[in-house]
Chains A and B, each alone.
Chain A
Amino acid sequence: MRYLPLTPDDRAAMLERIGVPDIDALFADVPASARLTGPIEGLPHHASEMMVGRHLRALAARNLSAADAPFFLGAGAYRHHIPASVDHIIQRGEFLTAYTPYQPEIAQGTLQVLFEFQTQVARLFGTDIANASMYDGSTACWEAIAMAGRITRRNHAVLSSGLHPHYVSVASTMAKYTGDVLATALPSLEAAADDDRVIAAISDETACAVVQYPDILGRIPDLARIADAAHAKGALLVVVVTEPVALGMLESPAALGADIVVGEGQSLGVGLQFGGPFLGLFAAREKYVRQMPGRLCGETVDADGKRGFVLTLSTREQHIRREKATSNICTNSGLCALAFSVHMTLLGGVGLERLARINHARAVQAAERLTQIAGVSLVNDAFFNEFTLRLGQDARAVALRLANRGVLGGVTMGRLFPGVTALEGGLIVAVTETVSMEDIETLAAALEGELA
Chain B
Amino acid sequence: MNAPNRAGWKPQMPQGDANKQITSSGDLGLQLEEPLIFELASNGNCGVDFDAEATEPSAFLAPFIRKQPVDLPGLSEPETVRHYTRLSRQNYAIDLGPFPLGSCTMKHNPRLNEAVARLPGFADIHPLQPMDTVQGALAVIEQLADWLMKLTGMPAVAMSPKAGAHGELCGILAIRAALEARGDRRAVILVPESAHGTNPATAAFAGYAVENIPATAQGRVDLAALEARLGPDVAGVMITNPNTCGLFERDMKAISDAVHAAGGLVYCDGANFNAIVGKVRPGDLGIDAMHINLHKTFSTPHGGGGPGSGPVVLSEALAPFAPIPFVHRDEEGRLRLVEERGASELLPDSFGRMVAFHGQMGMFTRALAYMLSHGADGLKQVAEDAVLNANYVLRSLDDMLDAPFGDSGPCMHEALFSDAGMAKGFTTLDIAKGLIDEGFHPMTVYFPLVVHGAMLVEPTETESRSGLDRLIGSLRAVASRAKEGDETLKSAPHHAPRRRMDETLAARKPVLVWKGQPAPSGEPVPSEIGGR
Contact = CB atoms under 8 A, between A and B. Distances in A.
10 contacts: A1-B374, A6-B388, A17-B396, A249-B64, A276-B307, A289-B510, A296-B512, A303-B500, A342-B80, A416-B128
A61 B133 CA distance: 10
A348 B124 contact: no
Contact of A53 (B72, B90, B116, B303): B116
B408 to A, nearest CB: 9
Contact of A56 (B124, B248, B369): B369
Nearest to B62: A382
Contact of B304 (A52, A75, A101): A101
A323 B34 contact: no
B473 interface: no
A83 interface: yes
Interface stretch (B257-265, B274-282, B481-489, B518-526): B274-282
A65 B124 contact: yes
B66 A10 contact: no
A51 B85 CA distance: 33
B133 A64 contact: yes
A179 to B, nearest CB: 7
Cβ-closest 5 pairs across A and B: A348-B74, A60-B121, A275-B357, A335-B303, A275-B127
Interface string A347-387: 11111111101101110100000000000000001101000
Given A103-B92, A105-B493, A29 B382 contact: no
A313 B117 CA distance: 35
Contacts of A314: 507
B529 interface: yes
Residue among B123, B169, B467, B502 with max Cβ neighbours from chain A (10 Å)? B123
B255 interface: no
A14 B388 contact: yes
Given A275-B357, A321-B201, A305 B305 contact: no
Contact of A65 (B11, B51, B120): B120
A295 interface: yes
B464 A5 contact: yes
Contacts, number: 742
Interface residues of A, number: 209
Given A17-B392, A272-B126, A353 B54 contact: yes
Contacts of B18: none
Given A179-B207, A300-B505, A97 B132 contact: no
Q: How large is the interface on B (under 10, 10 to 19, 20 to 34, 35 or more residues)?
A: 35 or more
B302 A100 contact: yes
A15 interface: yes
B198 A116 contact: no
Given A29-B248, A89-B85, A304-B499, A384 B12 contact: no
Contacts of B503: 300, 310, 312
B202 interface: yes
A302 B498 contact: yes
Interface stretch (A118-126, A201-209, A441-449): A118-126
Residue among A31, A75, A273, A355 with max Cβ neighbours from chain B (10 Å)? A273
A344 B278 CA distance: 43
Interface in B159-211: 162-166, 168-169, 173, 176, 196-198, 200-207, 210
A220 B65 CA distance: 11
Nearest to B36: A116
A244 to B, nearest CB: 10
B333 interface: no
Nearest to A176: B352
Contacts of B351: 173, 176
Nearest to B153: A40
Interface in A1-58: 1-6, 10-11, 13-15, 17-20, 23, 25-31, 33-36, 38-47, 49, 51-53, 55-58
A210 interface: no
Nearest to A113: B87
A39 B376 contact: yes
Given A29-B409, A323-B210, A355-B48, A6 B465 contact: yes
Contact of A307 (B12, B85, B101, B377): B12
B372 A55 contact: yes
Contacts of A394: none
B30 interface: no
A41 B278 CA distance: 10
Contacts of B232: none
Contacts of B124: 65-67, 79, 271-272
A93 to B, nearest CB: 3
A188 B84 CA distance: 46
Given A43-B375, A45-B378, A330 B139 contact: no
Interface stretch (B221-229, B311-319, B336-344, B419-427): B336-344
A94 B32 CA distance: 15
B304 A95 contact: yes
B104 interface: yes
Interface string A141-171: 0000000000000000000000010110110
Given A178-B205, A274-B361, 14 more contacts: A1-B381, A43-B376, A85-B81, A96-B303, A97-B302, A277-B162, A295-B305, A317-B197, A319-B197, A334-B307, A336-B306, A351-B48, A357-B56, A362-B52
Interface in B65-98: 65-67, 69-75, 77, 80-81, 83-85, 87-96
Interface in A289-342: 289, 295-308, 310, 312-315, 317-325, 327-336, 338, 342
A45 to B, nearest CB: 4
Given A18-B391, A119-B514, A329 B165 contact: yes
A256 to B, nearest CB: 9
B375 A46 contact: yes
Nearest to B464: A5
Interface string B387-430: 11101101110000000000001101000000000000000000
B109 interface: yes
Contact of A61 (B38, B70, B121, B169): B121
B29 interface: no
Nearest to B254: A31
Given A46-B378, A108-B91, A360 B61 contact: yes
A26 B281 CA distance: 17
B132 A358 contact: no
Contacts of B112: 49, 52-53
B307 A333 contact: yes
A89 B81 contact: yes
Contact of A25 (B410, B467, B505, B530): B410
Contact of B125 (A2, A66, A220): A66
Nearest to B114: A91
A329 B200 CA distance: 12
Nearest to A167: B356
Nearest to B58: A364
A176 B173 CA distance: 10
A11 B388 contact: yes
Contacts of A65: 120-121, 124-125
B253 interface: yes
Nearest to B502: A300
Contact of B377 (A39, A132, A346, A357): A39
B481 to A, nearest CB: 18
Contact of B465 (A10, A108, A342): A10
B140 A98 contact: no
A433 B69 contact: no
A109 interface: yes
Contacts of B342: 418-419
Contacts of B71: 123, 349
Residue among B176, B343, B372 with max Cβ neighbours from chain A (10 Å)? B372
Contacts of A353: 54, 69-70
Contacts of A52: 112, 116, 369, 372-373
B452 interface: no
B461 interface: yes
A98 to B, nearest CB: 4
